[in-house]
Chain A
């Protein structure tokens, strides 16, 4: 069952994962999502935005140096990692007991 889940979730061809290109040109599989985020910089009105996150295995993040400030390219769009944080969900792909990490991203100007 765990192997099945791993296939579904982290398989770019068959599952939900996408590739992110990291420094050096290597590709890392993970999940990419961008929930709504209302930015509040003061004042009476907020600004509608998104909070893009790339969820990768902690092992891959450590291996490819996916730390704060590291660049990532996903689907042709350039990001920089704002903050890596363990997702704490307990959903751990079988080969990676270290768990998953949410890499919070910021768009880079084009």
Chain B
């Protein structure tokens, strides 16, 4: 087993695979060589437990978590239209199963931002798509999604 957050990260990567570009989880290295854009990178921080909505079940505190899932779409040599096309594909892929295989209660859009760098040999663009994934887990048992 693994932390629910890790399971969600893996489920998001799996959901994005059909888009047909490289998808990375938590990547820190620059996208270069075989990992060149177009590519997607998935990050799952921060993870905020919501104690105000905690519930007791069989003597166990069940917490609702708001997990921020940032999905970065990187494009080289493209335009804002290419970034938007990537954003469409990502949103459609995520919302094909809002539970991410039963791990999550739902997904909310949390905002998107984009920027470009035109100083290199090709214009590089990135769109950062933020989602909030809500999941339930019992206090002291972070590996089991409820």
**A residues lining the B interface (CB < 8 Å):** 34, 37-52, 82, 104-107, 109
Contact = CB atoms under 8 A, between A and B. Distances in A.
Contacts of A40: 117
Contacts, number: 86
B54 interface: no
A37 B119 contact: yes
Interface in B106-130: 113-126, 128
A60 to B, nearest CB: 22
A47 B32 contact: yes
B74 interface: yes
5 contacts: A39-B124, A48-B32, A49-B124, A50-B120, A107-B122
Interface stretch (B3-11, B35-43, B85-93, B97-105): B35-43
Nearest to A77: B121
A51 B119 contact: yes
What 8 pairs between A and B have smallest CB-CB spacing? A48-B32, A39-B124, A49-B120, A41-B126, A43-B72, A42-B115, A39-B117, A41-B117
A47 B123 CA distance: 10
A42 B28 contact: no
A34 B120 CA distance: 9
A44 B41 contact: yes
Most A CB contacts (10 A, CB to CB) among B72, B117, B120 go to B120
B140 interface: no
B122 A41 contact: no
Interface in B67-98: 70, 72, 74, 76-77
Contacts of B118: 82, 106
A81 to B, nearest CB: 12
A44 B43 contact: yes
Contacts of A50: 120-121
A43 B29 CA distance: 12
Interface in B20-74: 24, 27-33, 36-37, 41, 43, 70, 72, 74
A39 B72 CA distance: 14
A46 B120 contact: no
Given A42-B115, A44-B72, A52 B121 contact: yes
B122 A48 contact: no
B121 A46 contact: no
A49 B125 CA distance: 12
Contacts of A43: 41, 70, 72, 74, 126, 128
